[in-house]
Structure 1
Amino acid sequence: MNILFVADPLEVFKTYKDTTFSMMREAQRRGHRVAACEPCHLSWRGGDVVKARVREITLTGTLDEWFQVGHEGVRALKDFDAIIMRKDPPFDSEYFYATHLLEQAEREGARVFNKPASLRDHPEKLAIMEFAAFTSPTLVTRDEEDVKQFHAQHKDIILKPLDGMGGMGIFRVGADGLNLGSIIETLNRGGTTTIMVQRFVPEIAQGDKRILVIDGKPVPFSLARIPQGSEIRGNLAAGGKGVAQPLSKRDYEIANALGPVLASRGLLLVGLDVIGDCLTEINVTSPTCFQEITQQAGFDVPAMFIDALEAAMAD
């Protein structure tokens, strides 16, 4: 296969942990050709097909100067066998526009994973609301009074922006309600911005588990991102420690319930975030943790992903 990865600049990859890098490495190991571009390299001229300025690359096998560029030029997206959308959040206007260009490329015959329309339809925090049976009590609102009533009911709560990533902008307010009004004002910007509020799940002390689901099937190990010190955030970007561990019975219950539904919508790779027994996020843009799970648990996650990609292309 000839595979195009739409991703962040190759030069900023942290290859010792980067999931997209591990996908590329496994694809090349199997003899597939690898190319890369950034969303800013996509273009669509009226009357023509969607194209991009791409770089064909060869992985060198080292982690420093890890790739060599072969041919570089403008190519039609439909000429690739598969396109893997791996641009990291935030899901901003430019990401939104990129999904529209990729969707047009689909209409022209391209195969894009994850499906662009499904990337738009599954905002990573809001997507859990469809599966309330698996979540902690949750409220999405702009209204300050709604938040205060939710706090009065549940006492210990988490507030977060809908567009946050890496644990940014997450606040915990306990039973004393200290600074609740100020935190609401900060997050909802005077009632102009929608936020998410959830009942605090104390099992965060044992980790925020990332469960990877590939073509509807769960990877049998999660990566528990465990908060350090006085932190309540387990995100690796916020200093959490990642520990691979087998899925629990509840983890499998959640993954097996959501996996086939999400796969049927064109989401080949999904990252479910679970704290204790509660689903907290559904990550679809660029789920990570391939290398950490592979290195610690010995389960080859990149191989499972490329297996699924090859099977999808054979359909």
Structure 2
Amino acid sequence: MRLAFLVNDVDTEIDEYTTTRLARAAARGGHDTWYIGVGDLEFGSNDGLFAARARAARWMDDDTLESFMERIKGCDPERIVLDDLDALVLRNESIDDLQARPWASPMGVVFGQMLAARGVTVVNDPNTLHRATSKLYLEEFPESVRPRSLVTRDPEAIARFVDEVGHAVVKPLYGAKGRNVFMIDGPDETNLAQMTEAVLQDGYAIVQEFIDGAEDGDVRMFLLEGRILERDGRPAAFRRVPTGNDPRANISTGGRSVPLEAGAPEFAVIEPMADKLVADGMFLVGIDVIGGKVVEINAESPGGFQSIERLYDLDIAETVIEALERRARVGS
């Protein structure tokens, strides 16, 4: 299989990323594997084909993730024709580019849509991904699996919602890595105006009712083609626990990952979501669950494979590449 991973910028990739583990699994499996940055694409040459300045990802027997990524960054870019790819894996995070490189933010989805129309298998499906990047995507799923919520830019509407539900969480509709996520104690929250102002600087806000147990963290689960991702019978899931007084459990904000016992009630949310995820072409997603409610769907470059590898000594990336190979063989 000939495949490429589209990232924000190859030179800023980190060896611990989930993307690096996916590329390692692909290269180890003998696949022709490439890295492409959002700014490395081109279209409209005389041959009418898509092309890119790509860097080869070749795994050596004595490699570590660090040496693997160093070699990718250090090699000279080669011009490859993207029409010849069997699969393109969209791993760029558009939200990261939204502020510093606004021109780059939509381009992964745009080029992904065009390549998919030309017959290349593109995951996750770019025709849905532009919508799934927003936290509003969660509202398309059954009420039974998600908390009560409100999406608005009206501070007074946020205050009214808090009056109704009491304890709540407010965060940007387009946000990641725990930035500007605030816990609201209830209608008497003295800092509500300041919290709301900070969140609305990023656009729309989403306010969710607080789910009992959130103070103890959340559960990150990976779903592959609508089912729990597994390797050797072990589900790809773990608990994220906040540290200190920070209620956010995101690993990027200092949270730590701990094993999740199989058979946890969080797995009950998967079945009501499965059909829609498959229909929407959401090949690989990460979902965050608290108390049997999904509080977030991570459809754009979901991360956390390093926690699975550390906790269970499992390379679940191999399962993902095997599934991608099957999908590319039959067509997306």
- Give the equivalent residue in structure 2 for 1:38: 37
Identify the range of structure 1 (57-66 vs 122-131) with the bigger mean alpha-carbon deviation. 57-66
Aligned-partner Cα distance in 1 for 2:220–2:134: 13
Tell me by how many angstroms 1:249 deviates: 4.7
Q: Note the C-alpha offset of 1:97.
A: 2.7
2:175 aligned with 1:173, yes or no?
no
Task: Return the TM-score normalized by structure 1.
Answer: 0.92
Whether the aligned pair in 2 keeps the contact of 1:49 and 1:76 (CA below 8 Å) is yes
- List per-residue Cα deviations over 1:247-266 (Å, max 9, x = no partner): 54532221222133212221
The superposition leaves residues 205-225 of structure 1 with CA deviations (integer Å, 9 ceiling, x where unpaired) of 332211100111112241211
* SS of residue paired to 1:65: helix
Match of 1:224 among 214, 219, 239: 239
Query: C-alpha separation between the residues in 1 aligned to 2:65 and 2:197?
Result: 44
Give the aligned partner of residue 198 of structure 2: 186
The equivalences for 1:102-113 within 5 A come to 102-113=112-123
- The one-letter code sitting in structure 2 at the alignment partner of 1:25 is R
Distance, in Å, in 2 between the alignment partners of 1:71 and 1:32 is: 19
1:22 matched to 2:21: yes
Deviates more, 1:284-293 or 1:49-58: 49-58
Show the 5 A alignment for 1:62-211.
Answer: 62-67=64-69, 68=71, 72-90=77-95, 92=98, 93=102, 94-131=104-141, 132-175=143-186, 176-189=188-201, 193-211=203-221
Displacement of 1:141 in angstroms is 0.9
Deviation at 1:71, TM superposition (A): 6.6
Conserved 8 A contact 1:6-1:83: yes
Q: Partners of 2:38 and 2:196 in 1: how far apart?
A: 34
Residue 36 (structure 1) shift: 0.8
Post-superposition shift, 1:126?
A: 1.0
Offset of residue 298 of structure 1: 3.8
2:222 equivalent in structure 1: 212
| Alignment root-mean-square deviation, CA | 2.1
Quote how far apart the aligned CAs of 1:299 are: 4.1
Q: Which runs of 4+ in 1 moved over 4 A?
A: none
Cα–Cα, structure 1 residues 186 and 296, in superposed 2: closer, same or farther, change >3 Å?
closer
Identity value in percent: 27
Deviation at 1:74, TM superposition (A): 2.1
Structure 1 unpaired stretches of 5+: none
Q: TM-score, normalised by structure 2?
A: 0.87
1:46, distance to aligned residue in structure 2 (A): 7.2
Query: Match for 2:164: what amino acid?
Result: Q
Note the C-alpha offset of 1:314.
Answer: 2.2
Q: Which amino acid in structure 1 is aligned with residue 311 of structure 2?
A: Q
- 1:244: how far off? 2.7
